[in-house]
Each structure stands twice: as structure tokens, then as C-alpha cells.
Amino acid sequence: MKRTVFRNRWLPYALVAPQIVITLVFFYWPALDSVRLSLYRASPFGDRLIFVGWGNFARLFADAAYLRSALTSVVFAFLVTLIGLVLALVLAALANARIRGLAVYRSLLLWPYGIAPAIAGILWLFIFHPSYGVLPYVLSFATTYQFNWFLKGWVAMTLLVVAAVWKQFGYNLAFYLAGLQAIEASVLEAASVDGAGPVRRFLAITFPLLSPVTFFLFTLNMTFAFFETFGLVHSVTQGGPGDATSLLVYKAWKDGFENLQLGVSAAQSVVLMAVVIGLTALQFRYAEKKVTY
């Protein structure tokens, strides 16, 4: 369809100018500068620079601490995403019925979206507190194992995963509910007439039909876990105990702003950029293909 356009020479430029200017100054300039800095070793005051080319990257990938951080981030992201999606999907499937008040439930489930990850972390930090948290207290009736997240890396990781999943849960659930409600009942009825049991129906029909939603939520949760959980780590564990919860985002910030190793931090930022590009490319490539009929 031919679109009507306005004929005006300078107006469109004026209209996009604010966005372009801000984008150039605050997105491209720092991003390119990060790339530039990643090729240097810099002094804390920034007054001395030594060109090292790939040196920072080589050192990163040879550094056990960095590789551990990468693994931690990947594990964290997958845990948050998979647990979040499975939980939301199962509950949405069980709750998918023609009931009144779905909108009310939705608003009662979506509000954690408004809580910053850092705040969610603080709330759960207290619940997990080894000395007076309600969770270790309840667990102490079942086992004598010390669930001390100050000391045990996996407990600290669990704390962060729980806080992140909790925050995202309503969001995931809402999307799955919407997706399920959009599936025509007739398709499922036909299947049940054919003799398929509920589980079979779910696996063979519902789940594939939900794949766009699943895919969307998958990339969303992964991106969230990789790039928006800095506040969570900074306010709760500060990467600890040791570096058990040192996510890539946190480590990049710490090396730059606490240890004042600007070049190394910039290199870590560049690696993160590559991850984002990968995730975004994946999203668009896959979303292009028709996922279902």
C-alpha cells in the first residue's frame, strides 16, 4: 500500500534529531570508547595508556576467575529462565479454565514487575538470612544442614535465582495464560475426541502452539538475567561468597569502578556486547521464521 507522506525537506531531520543526538552521544560514543579502551591498559587516573591490542581479551579468556564468572552467569541465566518458564507454564496450564476474575488475578500477579531487582534481592535476603530468616528456620526442622548464604556459594546462588524468578513470575505467567487462552478450544477438543490424554494433548498440541510465547519469554528472561540483574548482585551478595555469584555484569563493573582497571573492564563490556548481539540476532532470526501454522 502506498503510504501518504508529507513533503518537507528539513522537518523529518528535526524530528529525529533528539533521538539521534542522544543515541550518538550516550550510546555510540561510550560503546565505541569501550571498544577503544578495551585495547589499552589504562592507569586509574586515565593519564597513562599502553596499547595492548588483544592483550586484555587474551588475559580475560585465560583468567580462571573470569571464566568462572562467565559460567556463573550462564548457569544463573538458564536457571532463572528455565525455572521461571516451567513454573509459569505448568501453573498457567493448570489454571487455564474459563473462570471469572482472570483480570483480577492478573493484576495481583503482575505487581512484582514494578519491584527493582535490587529491592527484590533485599526482601529475599532477609528471608534467607542464616541467623533469623524465616526460610532457614523452617528448613531447620527438616535438616541440620546450615543454609548459610554468607558462606555457601550455592545457597547464595539459590537466593539470587529465587529473587529473580519471583520478580519475573507474574510476567511469565500472564503471557502464558494469554497464550493458552488464545488457543482455540476446538483444537483441543478434537484431539481429546481422538483419544489423546491431557498430557499428550499438552505436549503434542498446546506446547508447540505456545512456542512463539515460549521463545519470546525465553529471550526476555535470558536478557533480563544477563543484563538487568546488576542491582540484585550489588545489593545482596556483592559477588560473594568468594566469587560464587560474580555475574559478568557485576565483574565488569567491579573491575572498572572498584579495582580501577579500566581497560580490562572495557574488554569485559565488549564481550557483553557480543552476547547481546548474539541474543538479539537469535531473537530476530528465529522470530522471522514462522513458528507455528
Partner 1 sequence: MRSCTPRSLLAASLLGAALVAALPGPAVARTEILWWHALQATLGERVGEIASKFNASQAEYEVKAIFKGSYPETLNAAIAAYRAKQAPHIVQVYEVGTQTMLSSGAILPVFQLMKDHNVAIDWNDLIGPVKTYYSSGGNLYSMAFNSSTPILYYNKDLFKKAGLPDKPPVTWDEVEAMAKKLVAGGAKCGYSSAWPSWVIMETMHAYHDQPFADHANGFDGLATTLKINGPFGVKMLELLQRGAKEGWFTYNGRLNKAEANMGGGECGIFTTSSAYIGNLTKTAEGKFAWGTAPLPHMAGFPRGNSIIGGATLWVMKGAKPEEAKGVAQFFKYLASTENQAWWATVTGYLPLTQAAVKAMEASGVYTKNPHLKTAVAQMNAAKTTPNSQGLRLGNYGSIRDAIEEQMENVFAGKKTAKQGLDDTVAKSGDILKEFAALYK
Partner 2 sequence: MARVLERAAGVTVARARGRRDRSGLVAHAILLGSVVVLAFPLYYALVISTQTVGEATSLPPRLLPSTAMLDNYVQAWQRAQMGRLLFNSAVVALAIAVGKIVISMLSAFAIVYFDFRGKQLVFWMIFVTLMLPVPVRIVSTFEVMTRLGWVNTYWALTVPLMASATGTFLFRQFYRTIPDSLAEAAQLDGAGPLRFLWSILLPLSTANIAALFVILFVYGWNEYLWPLMVTTTVEMRTAVVGVESLVPRGGSQLAEWNVIMAAAIMVLLPPVAVIVLMQRWFVKGLIESEK
**Residues lying near partner 1 in the complex (CB under 8 A):** 41-50, 59, 65, 131, 150-151, 240-243, 255, 257-261
Nearest 5°: phi and psi at 183?
A: -75, 130
19 lies in the binding site for partner 2 (CB under 8 A): yes
CB atoms within 10 A of CB 247: 28
Q: Measured from the CB of residue 222, what is the shortest distance to partner 2 in angstroms?
A: 13
Shortest Å, Cβ 95 to partner 2: 4
**Choices 21-29, 59-67, 77-85, 153-161 (CB under 8 A): range interacting with partner 2:** 21-29
Q: Closest distance between partner 2 and the C-beta of residue 64, in Å?
A: 22
Q: Pick one of partner 2, partner 1, none as the site partner of residue 54 (Cβ within 5 to 8 A by kind).
A: none
CA dist list (Å): 238 to 12, 81, 145, 246, 267: 46, 22, 24, 7, 21
Which residue among 45, 47, 62, 98 contacts partner 2 (CB under 8 A)? 98
Q: Report what 231 binds from partner 2, partner 1, none; CB cut-off 5-8 Å by kind.
A: partner 2
Pick one of partner 1, partner 2, none as the site partner of residue 243 (Cβ within 5 to 8 A by kind).
partner 1
| H/E segment holding residue 41 | strand 40-42
Minimum CB separation of residue 116 from partner 2 in Å reads 4
Long-range pairs, 38-42, Cβ under 8 A, ≥24: 38/263, 38/266, 38/267, 38/269, 38/270, 39/263, 40/262, 40/263, 41/263, 41/264, 42/261, 42/262, 42/263
Q: Which of 287, 155, 290, 269 is nearest to 220 (CA)?
A: 287
Closest approach of partner 2 to the CB of residue 293, in Å: 19
Q: Which does 127 bind (CB under 5 to 8 A by kind): partner 1, partner 2, none?
A: partner 2
